Structure 1
Amino acid sequence: MTWLRALLAAGLSVIMPGAGHVLVRDWLRAALFAGLFLSVSAFFLPIDQLTAAGPITSYDEAFEQATIMAEETDVMAQFFLSFIALFAAVDSAFRALGYLPGGNTETDESTCPECGKEIDEDLAFCHWCTTRLEPAEPEAETNDI
């Protein structure tokens, strides 16, 4: 299930950077990737020519605007937008698999086996991803006689 979730997060991030992070419930990264993508789009894409073409009401008008975007967008803009989308896809896939930045796995706190975030030991579920947690078995006491 985590692989399916990672693939879905990566696919959503390719369509719109930040959407895969929403699936993983990483709100700050979702806002950062979406904001970065939209600001680069506003800076590099030919917005004035697209607004002059008018609103999209039919397939022909949508095709016309897509043609304008393809012809007027330079290689650097395509590179930046593709790089942001690819980086967001890879990052959201790793976050969905539970690989958190820093690689610090030696913590005193218990973590969720599904999402990897810290959990409250008193709860029977992860309050981040709602995964049901198995109760911790008490350690077997050994008597030295």
Structure 2
Amino acid sequence: MTWLRAILAAGLSVILPGAGHVLSRDWLRAAAFAGLFLAASAFLLPIEQLAAAEPASYDEAIAQATAMAEDVDPMAQFSLSFIALFATIDAAFRALGYPSGGDENADGTTCPECGNDVDPDLEFCHWCTTRLESDAPESETDN
């Protein structure tokens, strides 16, 4: 199920960077990637062609989109592709449960499913309700 969620998060991030992070409930990263991509799009793409004439038919819309794509310089294409690729890879790794900060919590206080910090005294993650395995062996009681 985790791989399916990672593939879905990556697919959503290809369509719109940040959408895959919404699936993982990582709201800050979702807003950051979506905002970065939309701001770069507004800055790098020739939007004035779209505002100049409204297409009357589907064929005119395709011709106008093709003309706009031909006017985009390679550096703008690379920049937008890089943002989308980075967001896709990040969303996939976050959906697989890798924490964003590295291994600063090496004592096992993160959930293996969602990667959020958990209370070591609990037997489940209070974020995603995944049952946690305890590291200490259970003591047997004598009757």
Match of 1:21 in 2: 21
TM-score w.r.t. structure 1 length? 0.82
Match of 1:76 in 2: 75
Of 106, 122, 131 in structure 2, the residue corresponding to residue 133 of structure 1 is: 131
CA RMSD of aligned residues (A): 2.6
Structure-2 separation of matches of 1:97 and 1:131: 16
Count of residues in correspondence between the two structures: 140
Classify 1:113/1:57 alpha carbon distance in 2 versus 1 (closer, same or farther; 3 Å). farther
Specify whether residues 57 and 17 from structure 1 end up closer, same or farther in structure 2 by C-alpha distance, changes over 3 A only.
Answer: farther
Instruction: Give the SS at the match of 1:92.
Output: helix
1:44 is aligned to 44
Cα deviations across residues 51-81 of structure 1 (Å, max 9, x unaligned)?
A: 1122x66422431232122111110110000
Structure 2 gaps of 5+ residues are none
CA deviations on 1:87-108 (whole Å, 9 max, x unpaired) are 0000111111111132234136
Given that residues 125 and 132 in structure 2 are in contact (C-alpha distance below 8 angstroms), is that contact kept between their aligned partners in structure 1?
no
Tell me how far apart the structure 1 counterparts of residues 93 and 52 of structure 2 sit (CA, whole Å): 41
The aligned residue for residue 96 of structure 1 is 95
Cross-structure match for 1:8:
8
1:116 aligns with 2:115: yes
Q: Secondary structure at the match of 1:103?
A: coil
Query: Which portions of structure 1, spanning 4 or more consecutive aligned residues, are displaced by more than 6 angstroms?
Result: none
Deviation at 1:118, TM superposition (A): 1.4
Deviation at 1:142, TM superposition (A): 8.8
Counterpart residue type for residue 116 of structure 1: G
Partner of 2:33: 33
Structure 1, unmatched stretches of 5+, are: none
Contact 2:37-2:83 at 8 Å conserved across structures? yes
Q: Percent identity?
A: 68
Distance 1:24 1:44, change over 3 A: same
